[in-house]
Amino acid sequence: MAVNRNFRTCPSTGLVYHEPAEKLIRWNAVAGVVSLLVGGILALLVTLTRWPAVKLLPPDWFYLVLTAHGLDMLVFWIIFFEIAVLYFAASTLLKCRLATPKVAWVAFWLMIVGALMNNVAVFKGDSSVMFTSYVPMGAHPLFYLGLILFAVGALVACFVFFGTLVVGKAEKTYNGSIPLVTFGAVTAAIIAVFTIAAGAIILIPTFLWSVGLVSHIDSLMYRTVWWAFGHSSQQINVAAHVSVWYAIAAIVFGAKPMSEKVSRGAFVLYILFLQLASAHHLLADPGLTSNWKIFNTSYAMYLAVLASMVHGLTVPGAIEVAQREKGFNKGLFEWLRKAPWGNPSFSGMFMSLVGFGFLGGISGVMMGTEQLNLIIHNTIYVPGHFHATVVVGTTLAFMALTYFLIPTLFRRELMFPGMAKWQTYVYGLGMMGFSVFMMGAGTLGVPRRHWDMAFSGAALPHEFPGTAYLMMGLMAVSGILAVVGGAMYLLITVGSVFLGKKIQTPDFKRVPVREGMAPPPVPVAAVPAGHGKIGMGGFVAPGTFVLAMVFLTSFILYYFVNWKYLSTVWPLK
Amino acid sequence: MSAIQSPTERIWWKQPLDRVEGTWIVIAFVWCLVMFFMMPYWHIYGKQNLSNEAYRSTPEAFLAKAQAMVDKYTVRTVTEQNIPVVHPVPGSDVYLVARLWQFWPVLELEEGQTYRLHIMSTDWLHGFSLQPENINIQIHPGYEHVVTLTPTREGTYSLICNEYCGINHHTMASKLYVVKPKKG
Amino acid sequence: MSQVPTPNGPADDADPDDEPIPMMQSLIDNPFLLLFLGVAMPTVLYIVWGVMEIVGIPLAK
């Protein structure tokens, strides 16, 4: 069987696209964006229902829409886009043919069928069990079967990615080590394999239970194993969007990692420890001991938090070094002031980084502390936290990357470039406000996944303070702003991809293995030297260091404020 | 070269660390250790720790224990459904059933006294969310969780379910009364 | 190849390409070793340990 060895080189970026890989990256990205469109419409409905002054939907529709929103966003949008990122990081960045494109298409169609099946089950109305589908509340069998098919497809796609790494090494398309961004993609793929395996362990028996072949699924066992899937799937996002940060820093600034050792070491800490944080969800559950809870919730002594703090320094640090080397070396922040704030790839990436760290990161570590979780568990603080990580962090980073991909991958000019400049700000700021106000309402005790905070129809209702209602109103207004930003993104991307002006580039041509090999490396010192004479006081990136210290100070203050608050509630033991 | 290309140097592992990175790693690691040791520290010196005491149980067994307590300590009933309000002896075992879509019975506890509160669901997952204290615990069917708690201030508190449990989830709310201890 | 082979001799030790790759770098360069570790660690520490604790919960009196 002939192997397709057709490649093209993008004239403006120098990136190399393999013909089948290009098609697969496009289709996976498009499937992701379609899920985002559906999930975005549902997001508006959820927001308008939780706005106490509007309360748009009746309860049955609210829970249905919330279930579909969770699945379309957290699973289908993000994983389709991540598969596109994996293929890009392996095939394009290694200048290598994609291993087994046919199998990759099988994976794609499995994922499509799975996603459709799951959505059908939810919209039929008998599967409003939320993203988490906790037993013993049961959904239609198609609900679980759809998720299982999707997961199998994604697993196959991960192995196509690993296969491509093997091909690249065998055909010598690169010298030495893989690029850092590809290494980050390896991290995401490894976490994905664990995630999907855990999903299979729990969803297959649950599917059998839903068709009556298994009599009982233990609720605590379900929650424990399910979260190894549910939380780890969000850790794939962390690894993926950190890679996207490094990629955008490289694309926009030509930034080189400050140190390969430090950045790769941080990714290795993710591989080893990040998935343990699935325990965050079980801190308020009976039966699991504090030993298990403390060890797992802290990623074995916060080693994965350490890794995130390292990336949080090295990504802007790499940008700062690149900018200073270009001559923006004055003062602490000239490099940042003179950054291209009108380029949505950069502004989206930078807001993703800051929002993920300050809002998502700090709140996540706080509520992932065994005892502090008591004053947070299942309040609307939780979705506040993960909208800061998954939406401001991941979705915004992916949006930023899209602006780069449209010309080079889809070979179309960007439509509405003026709107694109604003889109990342509208979406980013809307989403940050949304997260912050949810967290505010959560500290006042407002529950998540709840149709009516006024408890209409309850015999003994609780009355929330006016501030809680105010927070929910502000949350909804920010949410609408974010929906507007999301609509702008969809308009720009869908418009550009289907109607944008075509960019004429040299077409695919066959490249034999020998010609595809990387040229012999230019002789340089084997061991890299340190950085030159930039920065101040021996620090190459002093501005970034100051920002990092601001972050740490906020982190410490917020962390201990919550301990103080905990110490005032009823003693428990 | 850049992060989207392979490292130019063969042996990147031996690149000397920039001072800014080294300093930050040390600071961040120290902070990670502080956060880690806060949890065991609070188990020893703090007063708010979730109990590890739990038992496997059945709805029948748990309901029987709750019924025995209700028979012994009911002081009045509330609402049209006549939900019993129980005022158990301080220090005793108190049972709270969570089910679709109510908490049963209503508890009346004494300020400053300590109780062994047993919570369990008899059907689906539910949430124990005590407002406005904002103490939140997961309730499982089949697992009896024993939490030792001490109400510190008198007043009328609310219990709300904060784990989605179906269409009437928003009606699953109850009260918890804390009163001054009776003198003598 | 562009590099001219040099005659054998002590001068060869100075060739940067001869320096062996440090062990840590070669471990990090091996995605399948990392895949094994990344799956084994959470499986043992989170799933197996957690499931054992759940199985060990005593029956109510």
Q: What is the pLDDT of residues B114-159, one digit of tens each?
A: 999 999 999 999 999 999 999 999 999 999 999 999 999 999 999 9
What residue in A sits closest to C47 (Cα-Cα)? A225
Q: SS3 of A330, please?
A: coil
Residue B82 belongs to domain with CATH number? 2.60.40.420
- How does pLDDT run across B74-83, given as a tens digit for each residue? 999 999 889 9
> Is pLDDT of C20 > 50?
yes
A100 located within any domain: yes
Q: What is the pLDDT of residue A537?
A: 81
B95: left (phi over 0), alpha (psi -120 to 50) or beta: beta
Give the nearest partner residue to C60 out of B11, B14, B56, using CB atoms: B56
Q: Which residues contact B53 (CB under 8 A, 6 or more apart)?
A: B145, B146, B147
Q: Name the minimum distance, in Å, from the CA of A547 to any CA of chain B.
A: 11
Residue of A129, A462, A534 to mutate for B, most B C-beta atoms under 10 A: A462
> Which chains lie within 8 Å of chain C at 3 or more CB pairs, if any?
A, B
Q: How sure is the predictor about C14, in pLDDT bands with cuts at 50, 70 and 90?
A: low
Q: What residues of chain C, 16 to 45, have a C-beta less than 8 Å from chain B? A: 16-17, 19, 21-22, 24-25
Q: What is the pLDDT of residue C10?
A: 45
Give the nearest partner residue to A194 out of C1, C39, C51, using CB atoms: C39
Contact at CB, B12 and A378, closer than 8 angstroms: no
Contact at CB, A306 and B29, closer than 8 angstroms: yes
A556 located within any domain: no
Per DSSP, helices labelled H in A368-465 are 381-386, 396-409, 417-443
- Domain span at residue B155 reads 54-179
Contact at CB, C60 and B57, closer than 8 angstroms: yes
Q: How sure is the predictor about B6, in pLDDT bands with cuts at 50, 70 and 90?
A: very high
Average pLDDT estimate for A352-366: 96
> Is pLDDT of A490 > 70?
yes
Give the nearest partner residue to C46 out of A177, A187, A279, using CB atoms: A279
| Least confident among A181-190, A284-293, A296-305, B2-11 | B2-11
Residues A192-210 as b/e (b if ≥16 CB within 10 A, e otherwise) read bbbbbbbbbbbbebbbebb
Residue of B56, B119, B121 to mutate for C, most C C-beta atoms under 10 A: B56
> Is pLDDT of A438 > 80?
yes
- The tally of domains found in chain B comes to 1
Cα separation, A555 vs A563, whole angstroms? 13
Contact at CB, A271 and C19, closer than 8 angstroms: no
B94 located within any domain: yes
H or E segment at A367? helix A362-367
Token pair listed for A466? 């006016």
Which residues of chain B make contact with C25, given a CB cutoff of 8 A? 11-13
> Is pLDDT of A487 > 50?
yes
Q: What is the pLDDT of residue C19?
A: 82
Residue of C17, C18, C61 to mutate for B, most B C-beta atoms under 10 A: C61
Q: How sure is the predictor about C11, in pLDDT bands with cuts at 50, 70 and 90?
A: very low
Contact at CB, B55 and C24, closer than 8 angstroms: no
- Domain span at residue A128 reads 23-32+71-253
Enter the pTM of the model.
0.95
> Is pLDDT of C7 > 50?
no
Average pLDDT estimate for B22-50: 97
- How does pLDDT run across A215-274, given as a tens digit for each residue? 999 999 999 999 999 999 999 999 999 999 999 999 999 999 999 999 999 999 999 999
- The tally of domains found in chain A comes to 1
Q: Check if B10 contacts C (Cβ < 8 Å).
A: yes
Residue with tokens 């959560």, as numbered in its chain: A442
Q: Residues A183, B4: contact at Cβ < 8 Å? A: no
Q: How sure is the predictor about A523, in pLDDT bands with cuts at 50, 70 and 90?
A: confident
Q: Residues A162, A185: contact at Cβ < 8 Å? A: no
A439 located within any domain: no
> Which chains lie within 8 Å of chain A at 3 or more CB pairs, if any?
B, C
> Is pLDDT of B169 > 80?
yes
Contact at CB, A271 and C34, closer than 8 angstroms: yes
The string of DSSP letters for B21-47 reads: HHHHHHHHHHHHHHHHHHHHHHHHH-S
Q: What is the pLDDT of residue A322?
A: 94
A106 located within any domain: yes
